[in-house]
Amino acid sequence: MTPRDGYHHGNLREALVDAAVELAGTSGPEGVVLRAVTRHVGVSPNAAYRHFADREALLAEVSARAMGALTRSMAARQDAVTEQDPVDRAVARLEAIGRGYVDFALAEPGLFRVCFAAPPEVALAWDSRDQEAGEGPDPTADPFGVLNAALDHLVEVGWLDPVRRPGAEVLCWSTVHGFATLHLDGPLRDVPSEEREQALTMALAHVSRGIGPA
């Protein structure tokens, strides 16, 4: 990887984040190193500290970028659902969200691993900054929000009993995250893609049926 030709004056912070995202895409969280990032941009390591207090602060930015990409993958799958019946559509959208999650994990393993790499206290500091700036939270701006919105809609259409709604998001998230992790780093990483797709279809169907009407 060679250093960039340069960056527009005043956009160093953005250039550093862009470079860190690129490095994370190939090496995961371990690729987000200030010295490597500044070398990639073509500036001195000290220049990075004008914008980031330490590596963890930069990692938080990269994690936010990766989480945004994961959210878009889930939303794209969800938006592609064509079922017209309200209940069928709501169930299909839930399953599509899970498929979008796994799609991203397998297509972008480095960024997927970075999604959850930022220390909680650093991520919270960034959240506080946004709140102080008066930016209200978008309930579907992150994977958890997209999932919760889909589950709430299942309640609205009568598929999911409101009594069973609490905790359903943990069941859904655990299923797709565990599936993705097993196929990325676990004993299922060498499973053929066709077999993996069949297993994912079955897992998602089990989840949607499991939270549906008794």
Residues 101-137 have pLDDT tens digits of: 999 999 999 999 999 887 665 444 444 444 444 454 5
* 182-208: average pLDDT: 95
Average pLDDT, the chain: 86
Q: Could you tell me which residue, 206 or 13, shows the higher pLDDT?
A: 206
As to burial, measured by CB atoms within 10 angstroms (0-12 exposed, 13-18 middle, 19+ buried), residue 211 is buried
pLDDT at site 40? 86
* 84-106: average pLDDT: 97
Residue 9 has pLDDT above 70, yes or no: no
Task: Kindly list the distances between the CA atom of residue 147 and the CA atoms of 95, 169, 202, in Å, as whole numbers in the listed order.
Answer: 10, 7, 19
For 192, phi then psi, to 5°, come to -60, 150
* 89-98: average pLDDT: 97
**Which residue range(s) make up the domain with 173?**
68-118+139-210
* 164-184: average pLDDT: 96
Nearest to 93 by CA among 76, 75, 78, 74: 78
Q: Is residue 37 part of a domain?
A: no
When divided into structural domains, the chain yields a total of 1
Residue 5 has pLDDT above 90, yes or no: no
Q: Provide the CATH number for the domain around residue 158.
A: 1.10.357.10
Q: Is residue 99 part of a domain?
A: yes
Q: Is residue 4 part of a domain?
A: no
Three-class SS state of 138 = coil
Share of the chain above pLDDT 70, in %: 85
Q: Is residue 22 part of a domain?
A: no
pLDDT at site 130? 44
pLDDT at site 33? 87
Q: Is residue 199 part of a domain?
A: yes
Q: Is residue 3 part of a domain?
A: no
pLDDT at site 119? 64
* 3-21: average pLDDT: 73
* 141-160: average pLDDT: 94
Q: Is residue 31 part of a domain?
A: no
Q: Could you tell me which residue, 116 or 179, shows the higher pLDDT?
A: 179
pLDDT at site 42? 87
Nearest to 40 by CA among 92, 79, 4, 83: 4
